Amino acid sequence: MPRPPRPDLDPGRPAPSLSVRTATGAGWIIVWRMSTRILGIISTIVLVRVLAPADFGLVALATTFAQAIDWIATIGVDAALIREPVLDRPLYDTGFTLNLLRGLLMAVAIAAEAYPVAAFFHEPRLATIILVLAFTTFMLAMENIGTVDFRRDLAFQKDFQLSVVPRIASIAASITFALVFANYWALVVGILTNRVLRVAMSYWLHPYRPRLSLQAWRRIFGFSFWTWLCSVTMMVRDRIDAVVIGRVSGAATVGVYSVGWEIGSLTSTELVEPLAAALFAGFSVARRTGADLASGYFKAISATFLLTLPLGVGLSMLAAPVIHLAFGTRWMAAAPLVQVFALVCMAKVVAYISGVLLNAHGMLKVQFRILLAGLAVRVALLLALVGPFGLMGAAAAATGCIAVEEILFLVVTFRQFRLRPIDLLRGIWRCVLATVAMALVLVAQGIGWAAAPPTAWAACGVIAQGVATGAATYGAVLLAAWWLSGQPRGAETAFLDVIGSTLRHFFRKARRIGA
């Protein structure tokens, strides 16, 4: 049985290069993340003014334990199919069946932990929330396996559609429920809406209709086992903070920490993670076709740093007015967390992209060891620092974990693939210089890392001034450094190529519509 058809391609124009296709795919993911994030920020602004911090803390604790089961049961079926040189019906059907069995087992496990978790935190409302999350977990397991083609073929515009519609619907449902009932169920209703609608859309967007089969399980299991080990380690690493803080300080403190992490990690969640998703498909194609590995790796890092460095530093410097304006004065305890996390998460580029490269080449055993080292550091620091230093102790633990992983990923990747550090420095020095110049200007103007303004209007003015000044300074220094360097083909030209390709695509579409 042949694999399902690829999304339609235009035979009248030459195929773009792999780097352009990967960058364009990442662009689609970033557009989705940014557009839905804008709606999400609006949603969060509404919800934090209607709901209490304890409401957010309740759902954060419930999702922590539900997602713990999710991470534990992750078997990497989609990633295994993306890496396969050739796909056939047994692989698709086996992948679907494995996902379905995984979802069923996860739902049972999540439901089983509902009442023990509620008793552990002395919070009976947690049990009902976790039971609803168990149901949504099983629903999500029914997603059409054929949609893996969207990532395998770098057709991320289809993935965009599959993700954005459920996201918008879930935001609308959460806001509506919050305005009517004003309780934590608004957050749960949003999760339920997103997952049910995503499953329905997966069958509308892709023609493949899976069947139950385990015929090709051996072809998937080898890769999936190490994926599972890595997922378990990342789950514990990313969720242990909430468990320790919740046990020591209660649900309300977990809510503050969650908001601080969510805002501070925007550069990571909205830029680096989408790029990593596209790069996994791109690196997998490069592995199958023998394309230049080093060039793609350094281009990916330099292009990502071009965005994450100024955005991360800028968000850290404007954390206080951002929190004041968006969430109000009762959430100001999250501002120092945002300042720390924005700086730390902007530097996660190397770990993300190196991890994707190792994953695409099946080197998950090495990646597991690095993640295990980072987890050990995080747990040790959490136990030592949360008690005496509270939330900032937890932030310091997260920082130490990320620093260890960054160093180890950098060393291992360069040794494994025989890469040269000088090539990395050549690609990122201009954006580093421009970011330092931006930070110095903002500090000199009294904007960077200043206290929160007294009013929301004043905070809005500080943010507008900081964004305008920072963007102008960063852009001017970056372009000047690029020009004086002889306009090398680096991250700057990669962005220009993608922008040019995108504009030509839309102009062609416009001419066809006009004709």
**Residue 209 banded pLDDT, cuts 50, 70, 90:** very high
Q: Average pLDDT for residues 429-442, to the nearest whole number?
A: 94
pLDDT at 290 over 70: no
- Residue 433 tokens read as 């210089």
Quickly tell me which residue has 């620093």 as its tokens: 403
As a whole number of angstroms, the distance between CA 451 and CA 14 comes to 54
Q: Which of 318, 282, 287, 319 is nearest to 299 (CA)?
A: 282
Interval 118-152: pLDDT, tens: 888 888 888 988 999 999 889 888 999 988 888 77
What pLDDT band is residue 223 in, cutting at 50, 70 and 90?
Answer: low
Burial 149-163 (b: 16+ CB within 10 A, else e): bbbbbbbbbbbbbbb
Q: What is the pLDDT of residue 16?
A: 55
The answer to whether residue 277 is domain-embedded is no
Tell whether 50 is covered by a domain: yes
Residues of the domain holding 39: 18-220
Residue 327 — very low, low, confident or very high, per pLDDT cuts 50/70/90? Answer: confident
Domain membership of residue 231 (yes or no) is no
pLDDT at residue 10, as a whole number: 43
Q: Which stretch of 58-62, 204-208, 420-424 has the lowest confidence by average pLDDT?
A: 58-62
Task: Say whether pLDDT at 399 is over 90.
Answer: yes
Tokens read off for 261 = 């992490």
Q: How confident is the model at residue 439 (pLDDT cuts 50, 70, 90)?
A: very high
Q: What DSSP line would sit under 292-339, residue for residue?
A: -HHHHHHHHHHHHHHHHHHHHHHHHHTHHHHHHHHH-GGGGGGHHHHH
The pLDDT of residue 403 is 92
- pLDDT at residue number 3: 46
Higher pLDDT, 470 or 56: 470
Give the separation between CA 103 and CA 73, rounded to whole angstroms. 8
Residue 206 CA from chain centroid, whole number: 24
| Domain total of the chain | 1
Instruction: Choose among 46, 44, 55, 62: nearest CA to 183.
Output: 55
pLDDT at residue 496 greater than cutoff 80:
no
Question: Is pLDDT of 498 > 70?
Answer: no
CA distance 156 to 281: 10
State both tokens at 112.
């089983």
Q: How far apart (Å, rounded) are the C-alpha atoms in residues 266 and 333?
A: 18
Rounded-to-integer distance, Cα 227 and Cα 71, Å: 10
Contact call for residues 175 and 167 (beta carbons, < 8 A)? no
**For residue 12, pLDDT beyond 60:** no
pLDDT of res. 359: 81
403 class by beta-carbon count within 10 Å (0-12 exposed, 13-18 middle, 19+ buried): middle
Q: Pick the most confident of 3-7, 10-14, 343-347.
A: 343-347
- Looking at residue 14, its pLDDT comes to 47
Highest average pLDDT, of 146-160, 222-236, 250-264, comes from: 250-264
Write the burial class of residue 422 (CB in 10 Å: 0-12 exposed, 13-18 middle, 19+ buried).
exposed
pTM above 0.95, yes or no: no
2: pLDDT confidence band, cut at 50, 70 and 90?
very low
- Are 106 and 141 in contact by the 8 Å Cβ rule? The answer is yes
Residue-by-residue DSSP string for 454-468: SSHHHHHHHHHHHHH
pLDDT for residue 317: 95
The first and second tokens of residue 364, run together, are 């998950």
Cα 267 to Cα 33, 56, 315, 378, 459, distances in angstroms: 11, 22, 9, 21, 21
| For range 328-343, the mean pLDDT | 89
Among 248-252, 268-272, 429-433, which range has the highest average pLDDT?
A: 429-433
pLDDT band at residue 503 using 50, 70 and 90 as cut-offs: low
pLDDT at 125: 87
Distances (CA, A) of 253 to 345, 442, 485: 21, 31, 49
Residue 315: inside a domain: no
328 inside domain: no
Q: Look at residue 21 and tell me whether its pLDDT is greater than 80.
A: no
Do the domain assignments include residue 87? yes
Helix (H, G, I), strand (E, B) or coil at 514: helix
pLDDT band at 466 (very low <50, low <70, confident <90, very high): very high
Element (H, E) at 52: none
**Res 144: pLDDT:** 92
164: pLDDT strictly greater than 60 = yes
Task: Report the percentage of the chain scoring pLDDT > 70.
Answer: 85
Cα-Cα-Cα-Cα torsion 115, 117, 118, 122, nearest 10 degrees, comes to 140
More confident residue, 162 or 337: 337
C-alpha torsion angle, residues 125, 130, 135, 138 (rounded to 10): 180
Note whether residue 79 is domain-resident: yes
User: Is residue 296 pLDDT above 90, yes or no?
Assistant: no
Spatial CA neighbour of 44 closest among 186, 163, 161:
186
Whether 148 maps to a domain, the answer reads yes
Which has more pLDDT, 330 or 115?
Answer: 115
pLDDT band at 378 (very low <50, low <70, confident <90, very high): very high
pLDDT band at 7; cut points 50, 70, 90 = very low
The pLDDT confidence band at residue 513, using thresholds 50, 70 and 90, is low
Of residues 168 and 73, more confidently modeled: 168
- For range 184-190, the mean pLDDT: 86
Give pLDDT, residue 393: 92
What count of residues does the chain have?
A: 515
Taking only the tens place, the pLDDT of each residue in 95-108 is 899 989 988 998 99
Going by C-beta distance under 8 Å and a sequence separation of 6 or more, which residues neighbour residue 290? none
d(CA 504, CA 514): 15
**CB burial readout 22-50, b (16+ within 10 A) else e:** bbbbbbbbbebbeebbebbeebbebbbeb
Distance from CA of residue 367 to its chain's centroid? 18
